[in-house]
Structure 1
């Protein structure tokens, strides 16, 4: 089953061009972004 929050994290990385940019946009730590897109 698709977790839509994981999709949101993936899209933030794609749009931002980096994990760091995605983390800043989402207001979370970069390790959180990495963990969510690794699933």
Structure 2
């Protein structure tokens, strides 16, 4: 919960819209997914 509050503080400081915030979360999720897939292939 604390990280989400920090996210909102940072997103507000950056002036991100709700849609841009969703895109950030989606991009991070994809990055983690890609890194996990890469780790499994080694």
What is the TM-score when the length of structure 1 is the normalising length? 0.42
Q: Higher relative CO (CA 8 A, sep ≥ 6), structure 1 or 2? A: 1
Larger Rg: 2
